Amino acid sequence: MENRVVYLIRHGKIQQEDDQRRYIGQINLPLAEEGIQQARNLQRRFERSDISAIYCSDLSRSIKTARIIAGFRKVQVVIRKDLREVCMGDWEGCTFGDIARRFPAEFKARGSDIVSYRVPGGESFADCSSRMVAALEDILGSSCGNIVIIGHAGGIRLLLCHMLEMPIANLFRIGQDYGCLNVIQCGATGYQVKLVNGSGRSGRR
């Protein structure tokens, strides 16, 4: 593997109708003002960095973050559907509390098997991991130099599990705040994770 750096970034904070925990999944929500500012912080962080390309999911929150980071630089933004968040199917848009009340058995079953359980119409985390890892390998195989990949909390956690050879069941042990930065060194010996859930502000780790 070419000696290079992959920057994994979670998109900025999104606009939501309230503060309740919801299954967002692949709902196409825009960035909030705070999310736009987080993307601008990342733009300043990367304005002098050697980046060959920026890849992002096709959801608007990811595209907007990518385009702000790219700024006026001549860096290609490549939009890929396979970098989307895990699909939560029939549960998308519902609060955790609502699902726990309406579908207690299914809610409990997913908690008991977070890796393989599929929400009706959706993906399991194992499904999403296979999709995300295939996307990463395709991106690395078709690009060169240091790259930025902008995605979503679940998908990035799954990529970090893959890079760290960590069980998918432990994905929620990895923090991924809005607008956070993860730094991975790639080389002949594989992946070396240098930073997880770091600040996107210039000069800060």
Condensed to tens digits (0 to 9), the pLDDT of residues 80-104 reads 999 999 999 999 999 999 999 999 9
Instruction: Answer yes or no: is 15 within a domain.
Output: yes
Question: Residue 164 and residue 167: Cα distance in Å, rounded?
Answer: 9
pLDDT < 70 positions in the chain: 202-205
Domains: count for the chain: 1
What pTM did the predictor assign? 0.94
Report yes or no on 205 lying in a domain. Answer: no
| Any domain includes 94 | yes
CATH value at residue 40: 3.40.50.1240
pLDDT of residue 17: 83
- Identify whether the C-beta of residue 119 lies closer than 8 Å to the C-beta of residue 89: yes
Q: What is the pLDDT of residue 35?
A: 98
Report if residue 203 sits inside a domain: no
DSSP strands (E only) in 35-108: 53-57, 76-80
121-130 pLDDT per residue, tens:
999 999 999 9
